[in-house]
Structure 1
């Protein structure tokens, strides 16, 4: 599995200077170069974007479409058979019908749809499209705060995310008929804490966590989510921090956000415990893969059998533990990183063993220098030829 954290691509506006437009254009292909090279060399079975695909959730639908098209065609190009439906929808440039989505969502919540495992369950999925291109990696996108928001998330945010990137909460189970079952769990961690503008989003997300907890699953789990689990100060660059909207950090017209969750570096302690208890049950191995902290981090959560709690540490000190990796951002300022997750089933111990390596590329200025050098070389050769 190749994992990419926080590309946060910017957009262009009428007032955007041409030099910045060129920078955005080049950045798309810088990030796309990283993906194409790594994909062609490693042939991953899965690729995951760990959230914050875009630089801001507060953009109009048309700009969300523009960035999604760039994301799908420049940064992470895939065969047309896998993306034509989304790209055709984007080409229409119609505002999303969030009112209809609101009505469906609220009725589904009232009817108990989100308490049913069938709503979240997938099995042995290798291609989301009907093209069944199994030689291509399965592409998974995780929602980030710059994609849908924190406590200020609206139905408009969620409608366009789900329309173009799919569900925000689900699991995929693999190889259930073997002695080595495993699954991927995708979790929208932005809606777990709160308070939220739409508290029903929190209800729905916790219903997903409860459904996970109640599911009798005998296998290893890979948890993909944007916000890392709680850990004390000093284990990562980002320590625990929670911020709420107040009268001093709300712009005029945004007073309705006062009291809502504005940002957080980690999930809160009780939330983290509940999530890990729901996903990692029994004595099965697993790994947590997150984004959010641009500097990246690696930790272990050791299970304390006396207290029944998961305790963060830089070392393993319990027979039951889960590793959490926060993939360093793929932005150029952070060296264009790719997180590599591999899984090996140990036939002797009958357990999955997961390993993680970070593969940096190079700061974007070096890539730009190479492109400029190529252009100048072609130009000089052309001039010499004409002379």
Structure 2
């Protein structure tokens, strides 16, 4: 009896410590796990409150959960740009021969991702969530399985109000194959009629909510739910083997692959977000028209001669020499001997790439940042994450990546570390702050790491086990 009580209290203590950690971990590294600028009025606090907020960890917890309303979120103009970046979640699926342990692992992984997302969303209250591609683990699934994984993404792993994903859920509930043939016909018509060359096809203005203002606070004009920005990844649509079926279902469930949104264009602080499908830039491709379309998008973007700052969101990082990141430059193409029963039409197509080619990278950087007031690039793909600066050397050498800034004209590129458990459940945090003295946007990026998924599992199991053992001590 006494032994059972001791075990129960030991398990209870361990469970309490683990659960305390998983729910408060950002406060242990508060500078990395918050925006680079925060606007809380601490001058109105009493002496003992000021003393508390100075204590590491406990002070941050106090600011998050107990700070008086009048001291929270003091409004500043222009408002900072706040993007929470999610790197490569790569949701796996279940098949008839999938073991029960793997099914349980997939189920738990969904809620592990949800825990990271909801913890950071509550803490940060972001204006934008950028999903950096590879939302699912393989593009080679039927529409039915793609629907299943999409439902898990929008309802379980990265949940959002039903109004935000009602269109997607309606498509999923019908469970009918996407009509990619109609998509193809519309695509060919647009290509033939030069619609893809027109900036109006891609351009949006001051979008904070895709849903007719449902999630806009009328008193402040700010969005009450983050705007989701979904980047295409190679596991979502493929590389050179991308098909119209891949593109049609992505568009139906996650939106356009190429567009830009301009903000505050009539002010002294204009800025924009550019969404770029980098999977269709190099090739060769099974459907070369997809490459034509993507380059026409870039040409339309170039025609704007934009003078503001730009946040470029894309999946494949720009070219850089080996040694700067975990992934060095690498291209692979389908061969007849290595195609493993795939269609002969794939032979010679782009099979995989770690970076964009050097020529493509230079062209993209010139178009997106050549005339503007700088900005930042957020990419995915390299699960370990990376951080570099592209400095413009001269017309001959173009943009060169290094760990430090080496010229007056430069762009920072951040590869967002994966949110998967093997990569510590990392969340990317990007802050854009307008420097009133220099009249320019300044961009900062940090990464907030959670912990490997096994600790999250242990915390959940310990809590259940503690409840069971404590119940037994009352019964016996």
TM-score, with normalisation over the residues of structure 1? 0.98
CA deviations 1:187-227 (Å, max 9, x no partner) are 00000000000000000000001111111222000000000
| Unaligned ranges ≥5, structure 1 | none
Alignment of 1:214 onto 2:296: no
TM-aligned CA distance change 1:164 to 1:255, over 3 Å = same
Matches of 1:385 and 1:177, distance apart in 2:
69
Q: Distance in 1 between matches of 2:431 and 2:424?
A: 22
Matched residue count: 387
Larger RCO: Structure 1 or Structure 2 (Cα < 8 Å, ≥ 6 residues apart)?
2
Please tell me the root mean square deviation across aligned C-alpha atoms, in Å: 1.0
8 Å contact 2:239–2:350 — kept in the other structure?
yes
CA distance in 1, matches of 2:200, 2:315: 24
Ranges of 4+ aligned residues in structure 1 off by more than 6 Å: none
Name the TM-score, length of structure 2 as normaliser.
0.80
Query: What is the Cα deviation at residue 307 of structure 1?
Result: 2.8
Contact 2:138 2:236 in 1 (8 A): yes
Shift of the alpha carbon at 1:9? 0.7
Q: Deviations over 1:45-104 (max 9, x none)?
A: 110110001110000000000000000011111111111111011011000111111000
State the distance in 1 between where 2:239 and 2:306 align: 30
Which residue does 2:336 correspond to in 1?
A: 247
Q: How far 1:381 moved relative to its partner?
A: 2.8
Name the residue aligned to 1:114.
196
Give, in whole Å, the separation in 1 of the partners of 2:155 and 2:298: 33
Distance 1:43 1:243 in 2: 41
Is 1:201 aligned to residue 283 of structure 2?
no
Say whether 1:369 aligns with 2:427. Answer: no
Gaps of 5+ in 2: 1-82, 216-222
Partner of 1:93: 175
Change (3 A) 1:247 1:306: closer
In the alignment, which residue of structure 1 is the partner of 2:162?
80
1:299 pairs with 2:388:
yes
Point out the structure with max Rg over C-alpha: 2
Q: 1:281 aligns with which of 357, 362, 370?
A: 370
Match among 399, 408, 419 for residue 310 of structure 1: 399
Give the match's secondary structure for 1:168.
coil
Partner of 1:190: 279
Q: Which residue of 1 aligns with 2:212?
A: 130
Indicate if the aligned counterparts of 1:283 and 1:320 stay in contact, CA closer than 8 A.
no
The alpha-carbon deviation at position 339 of structure 1 amounts to 0.7
Instruction: Give the deviation of 1:281 after TM superposition.
Output: 2.3
Correspondence for 1:19: 101
- In the alignment, the residues of structure 1 paired with residue 252 and residue 156 of structure 2 have an alpha-carbon distance, to the nearest angstrom, of 20
Residues 229 and 253 of structure 1, relative CA distance in 2, 3 Å threshold: closer
Q: Which residue of 1 aligns with 2:436?
A: 347
Q: Is the Cα–Cα contact under 8 Å of residues 84 and 430 in structure 2 kept in the other structure?
A: yes
Secondary structure of 1:355's aligned partner: strand
- 2:219 corresponds to which residue? none
For the Cα contact (< 8 Å) 2:307–2:372, is it kept in 1? no
Alignment of 1:139-178 (within 5 A): 139-178=228-267
CA distance in structure 2 between the aligned counterparts of 1:162 and 1:271, rounded to whole angstroms: 24
What secondary structure sits across from 1:240 in the alignment?
A: coil
- Per-residue deviation, residues 157-206 of structure 1 (Å, max 9, x unmatched): 00000000000000001111110000000000000000000000000000
CA contact 2:306–2:371 (8 Å) conserved in 1: no
CA distance in 2: counterparts of 1:184 and 1:278, whole angstroms: 14
Say whether the 8 Å CA contact 2:385–2:415 is kept in structure 1.
yes
